[in-house]
Structure 1
Amino acid sequence: MNIDISTPALLFPAITLLLLAFTNRFVALATLARGLRQRYLDHNDPPATILGQIKNLKVRLLLIRNMQALGIASFFCCVLSMVLMYLREQQTADLVFGASLFLLLASLTLSFIETQISTKALNLELSDLEKKSIKKV
């Protein structure tokens, strides 16, 4: 398969939007981590939900770091494939572009996994609220 120099350029907007979304997730998790830390410190005997959230948060932070790393590597490979095409190294450029697609796919897979874990974290938080509301009734 031969691709021209504009093909990798098509991924630029997609990859940059994904990196922006991943960064927003990271910022949201950093805010959540600070809040959980404060909630943990405010309790002499922290509820199990806080400890579960902290454990969950650590996994999610690791996933987001890896999502970002794979996204950046994908972006790097896109640019490198364009440089290789410019240097008339078409076969190598095709392989590097293929690598960028697989890196992007891996990043999206981690994003899906992180979303699933995020949903579990929200359910854990909501279950804590449900328990409190049942006790009040």
Structure 2
Amino acid sequence: MESLTLTTPALLFSAISLIMLAYTNRFLAYAAVIRNLSDKYLEKKEDALIRQINNLKFRLNLTRWMQIFGISSLLLCVLTMFLIYIHQHILAVWIFGIALILLIISLALLIKEIQISAQALKHHLGDIEEYLKK
């Protein structure tokens, strides 16, 4: 078995940083859309707006968990590097394995969130198609 070196967890830094940037952008976009829908709902209380707001709340929550798992993965990568530095290689291997699992969970949540987003957009397209048929 090949030994874990300092560079192995360090390789994930750029990948996790880019993923976190993408997650943050999603989070900010959802926040802006929710504020906009909230204002629209205060003007006219439509059930469709409530459904959209609930969908966005769920997606926002998923994004928050994606961020939590991603940040935890990055934190454990740093801990792995520290453990390698102090020559705790067996513990470092286990911690790095946990970091990878957390990153996998984060990415799996991203897949789920993308599916929900695509389904929501399909509903909007369906509404437009119905309107155009009239």
TM-score bracket, shorter-length normalisation = over 0.9
Shift of 1:96: 0.5
State the one-letter code of the partner of 1:82: M
Q: Which position in structure 2 is the counterpart of 1:92? A: 91
Q: Tell me the TM-score normalised to structure 1 length.
A: 0.92
State whether residues 49 and 125 of structure 1, in contact with CA within 8 Å, keep that contact through their aligned partners in structure 2.
no
1:118 aligns with 2:117: yes
Consecutive unaligned residues of structure 2, counting only runs of 5 or more, are none
Shift of 1:32: 0.9
Distance in 1 separating the partners of 2:30 and 2:104: 23
Report runs of 4+ in structure 1 exceeding 4 Å deviation. none
SS at match of 1:10: helix
- Cα deviations by residue, 1:75-131 (Å, 9 ceiling, x for unpaired): 000000000000000000000000100000000000000000011111122222223
1:8 aligns with 2:32: no
Instruction: Write the mapping of 1:1-137 to structure 2, written as runs, cut at 5 A.
Output: 1=1, 2-43=3-44, 45-46=45-46, 48-135=47-134
Distance in 2 separating the partners of 1:121 and 1:23: 20
Q: Number of residues paired by the alignment?
A: 133
Shift of 1:52: 1.8
Report % sequence identity.
46
Q: Tell me the TM-score normalised to structure 2 length.
A: 0.94
